[in-house]
Amino acid sequence: MNLSPRLRFKLERFKAALRSTLAAKETNYDTSHRMCPNCRGLVSRDASVCPLCETPLRSPRARGGGGVPAGRVMGGLIPIPSTATSALVAANIALYGVSWYLTQQTALPGSGGGGDIGDLVLLRLGAKVGWMIFAGHQWWRLVTAMFLHAGLLHIGMNLWCLFDLGPEVESLFSTPKFVVLYLATGVFGFLVSLFWRPYGSSVGASGAIVGLIGILIGASYHHGTLGQDYRRRLWFWVAYILLFIFLPIPVDNAAHIGGLVSGLALGYFIPEGEPDTRASETLWNTLALVSVLIIAASFAMMALQLNAKY
């Protein structure tokens, strides 16, 4: 999904409005300073080390809005993914490279050409397959399936959407929250797909990507008429994605709907922005670490059964 320049401009206005709303609550503070996450003292916003407790400080997130964001080049046409988005893109590309190599090496039936991946390769690498999850208790497939794709067109479309939507959600909610939200919406999407089609199989990041759209829609309900205008445009894209059900191509709309519904709820109830207390910062950092460990453990379990016979 390629966001139009007009829609991207609306998104930047929405983010600027959010920053203005948050800034309105801080009118009694000097915006040239920020709080040290360790000792909670006020230090210069540009400081790299806290002068009070000597704790290294991360570079502050850019504030203010308007214009082309720093994470884009060529007038906003080419998005540059932020930290967690970059890792997700790299993981998807790496898994596609592995699956393509295995397809070429084994010349499995149904592998096809033009970058298509063999069905058995996807099965071995962790596709969401109902009977294997229920009978084999391989629930880790709900995670690994998010990083697998059936062909060049499939991964190309999903990664372009992730390039566009990932940095927006990550900058709006913070990197730790983004990691948790991405995993949660993707897994919930495949859970809905699993119970909708118990014996079906599917792969792809689109459940989590539609979840990112749902997150932005959910967040927009807190921002008045500006959010309403932005939300209307996002609903148009949701309808466009769901229309694929009428095309003669395999599309897992159950995963899309699951990702969307979970994203709407999470985007509405989880506050935007960086965690504002030490406790909430610790909580989200811990949840993000647990999410990364879940992903790593899922692929470790996939590797342990990679050479199993099916």
Q: Is residue 99 part of a domain?
A: yes
Mean pLDDT value of segment 119-147: 94
Domain of residue 235, CATH code:
1.20.1540.10
Report how far residue 259's alpha carbon sits from residue 265's, in angstroms, rounded to the nearest whole number: 10
221: alpha, beta or left, given left = phi > 0 and alpha = psi -120 to 50?
alpha
Q: Is residue 91 part of a domain?
A: yes
Backbone conformation region of residue 136, classed left if phi is above 0, alpha if psi is from -120 to 50, else beta: alpha
What pLDDT, on the 0 to 100 scale, is given for residue 105? 84
What is the residue-wise DSSP string for 21-33?
HHHHTTTTS-TTE
Flag whether 36 is in a domain: no
Residue 144 in this model has a pLDDT that exceeds 60: yes
Question: Buried b / exposed e across 209-247, counting CB within 10 Å, b at 16+?
Answer: bbbbbbbbbbbbeebeeebeebbebbeebbeebeeeeee
More confident residue, 38 or 183: 183
Element (H, E) at 78: strand 78-79
Phi-psi region of 114 (alpha: psi -120 to 50; beta: other; left: phi over 0): left
**Would you say residue 30 has pLDDT above 50?**
no
DSSP label at residue 201? E
Which two three-digit tokens encode residue 4?
């139009």
* 118 domain-assigned: yes
Residue 261 falls inside a structural domain: yes
Residue 4 confidence (pLDDT): 53
Q: What does the alpha-carbon distance between residue 62 and residue 56 come to, in Å, rounded to a whole number? A: 18
Domain membership flag for residue 7: no
What local confidence, expressed as pLDDT, does residue 56 receive? Answer: 79
Asked if 192 and 291 touch (Cβ cutoff 8 Å), the reply is no
Q: Where are the alpha helices (DSSP H) in 221-306?
A: 224-242, 253-269, 278-304
Q: What is the mean pLDDT of the chain?
A: 80
User: 87: domain range?
Assistant: 79-304
Rounded CA separation 16/11 (Å): 9
Domain membership of residue 262 (yes or no) is yes
pLDDT tens-digit readout, 164-205: 899 889 988 999 999 999 999 999 999 999 999 888 899 999
Which carries the bigger pLDDT value, residue 16 or residue 56? 56
Classify residue 221: in a domain, yes or no: yes
Evaluate if residue 37 carries a pLDDT over 90.
Answer: no
pLDDT at 78: 45
Axis crossing angle, helix 175-196 with helix 152-173, rounded to the nearest 10: 130
For the chain, the domain total comes to 1
Mind listing the pLDDT tens digit for each residue in 229-259? Answer: 778 888 888 887 777 666 666 788 899 999 9
CA distances from 111 to 74, 92, 131, 225, 226 (A): 38, 19, 22, 49, 47
Q: Report pLDDT for 49.
A: 81
CA-CA distances (angstroms) from residue 283 to 58, 106, 274, 293? 18, 45, 12, 15
> Which residue's entry shows tokens 């692929």?
299
Question: What per-residue confidence (pLDDT) applies to 6?
Answer: 55
